Every structure is written in structure tokens, then in C-alpha cells.
Amino acid sequence: MGQITQLPQLIPADAGKPVRPEAAASQQASRQLALQPSSWSREQADETVRRYTELATVWEGERGGYRPVPLGDALQRGGPWPAGLCLEIGCGTGLLSGLVQQVWPRVVSLDLTWAMLSRSTAPWRVLGDASRLPVPDGSARAVVLADVPLFAAEIVRTLSADGVVVWSNALGEDAPHHVPIATVLETLEDASDAAWSAVMSHAGWGLWAVLRRER
Ligand SMILES: C[S@@+](CC[C@H](N)C(=O)[O-])C[C@H]1O[C@@H](n2cnc3c(N)ncnc32)[C@H](O)[C@@H]1O
């Protein structure tokens, strides 16, 4: 497996980190899905939409304060960044889209849940499923995933060979959508039949990783 380089944490974690009681079960499901993306079903998609439709009205009010921290740190320290089109997968309400646009002015922001996506003011919004991205092969130079399910084969298909993957979990190893970075790396390697490496760090309550193919 490719190398994972850990950078020092610069943004400390304050007291009062939220606890998500559903995290353990959700992490197991997220990891299982990352390893077996073909297990994604209509029922899971419907359940995801139902859950985030309930959360949409309170998402930014309850979670908006801490969620940008790790992605912001990743974008500060994880470069250099290739210029071109960026796919923001699972963009939700667009809470993080402004940060992404500061690095990539052309961003396609995609989400499965209309109640989340309809709150976003990002310029290019797409209602869609990360398991079947509605974009051509090799069209993106960057894919950003902030607390979303991992469909590595679709990322590899849509990303150019010199593209970059930015991953973040706003509650770090305790986030419901957390998948160990080694697993993220491995699934990208399996899907591309190529070696990848990662740089990662923690920031606030969260963590991030930037993954690239080895040259
Ligand atoms: C934890 S929220 C994160 C939202 C946003 N990235 C943020 O950090 O505020 C997860 C988002 O991923 C979306 N999502 C879940 N499964 C998805 C899929 N298969 N395809 C596209 N979006 C998905 C959900 O609808 C939800 O908006």
C-alpha cells in the first residue's frame, strides 16, 4: 500500500466535541460500502434521502461552526492543487462549497438529497448519486468528499490521472462517515490498479487527507 504522511496538527481541538450515538454503526456501514460499493441499494439511497431531508433545516445552524475546520486546513496545507474542474460530492447545503470555490473556481456540487441541495447557492448544482456520477471519464482535476460515502471506482473514473482527492471528516475518527485513511487509499488503489499516496492531518475535531496517484 502507498505511503501515508501525517502532518502535525496546527488547529487544536476545543473541549465539547459532539458525540454522535449513531457513529459506530454508521462507520461500519460506510466502511462496508467503501469495500463493496455494489452493495449500495435503492433502499439505502431512499433511507439516506429520508435522513438528510429531516436534517436539512437544522444542518447549518447545529453543525455549521465546526464542519469547515478540517476541510479549510486541508485546502491550506494539502496542495499544490491542479487547476481545472472540481467535483464536490455530497455537497449538502453548500456549507463548504465556498471554501472549495476559493481553490477551484469551477466546481460541480452534487448531492442525493434535494432538501439539502436546494439550500445551496453554489453555481453548478446537480441532484445525483455518487455511485453513478453524471460526468465524463477523466473530466475532473479534483474530487472533494466531506463526510460522504466513498465510491472509489467512480472517483477514479471521473478524475484525470494527475487529479487529487480531498477527504475530510468533521468529527475525525468519531464521524459517522469516517473511513480509515488506509482504507480510502486502498480502495482507490484497487479501483485504479495504481499506487497512491496520502498526506493527512487532524484539525479541530476533524481530520483530512489529500490523496494522489504516484507518478
Ligand atoms: C454528512 S452530510 C455532508 C454535507 C456536506 N459535505 C457538509 O460537510 O456539510 C452527507 C451528504 O452526503 C449526501 N449523500 C449521501 N449519500 C450520497 C450519495 N450516494 N450520492 C450523493 N450524495 C450523497 C447526503 O445527502 C448529505 O447531504
Q: Best mutation site among 49, 52, 60, 154 for ligand 1, i.e. most ligand atoms within 8 A of its Cβ?
A: 52
Span 34-88, pLDDT tens digits? 999 999 999 999 999 999 999 999 999 999 999 999 999 999 999 999 999 999 9
**The pLDDT of residue 1:** 84
Residue closest via CA to ligand 1's atom 1 equals: 147
pLDDT digits (tens, 9 = 90+) for 94-132: 999 999 999 999 999 999 999 999 999 999 999 999 999
Calpha distance 101→20 (Å, rounded): 29
What's the rounded mean pLDDT across residues 30-35? 96
**Domain residue ranges of the chain, discontinuous segments joined by +:** 22-213
Mean residue pLDDT across the chain: 97
For the chain, percent of residues with pLDDT exceeding 90:
97
Domain 22-213 superfamily per CATH: Vaccinia Virus protein VP39 (3.40.50.150)
Q: What atom of ligand 1 comes closest to residue 88's alpha carbon?
A: 6
Distance 131 CA to ligand 1 centre (A): 12
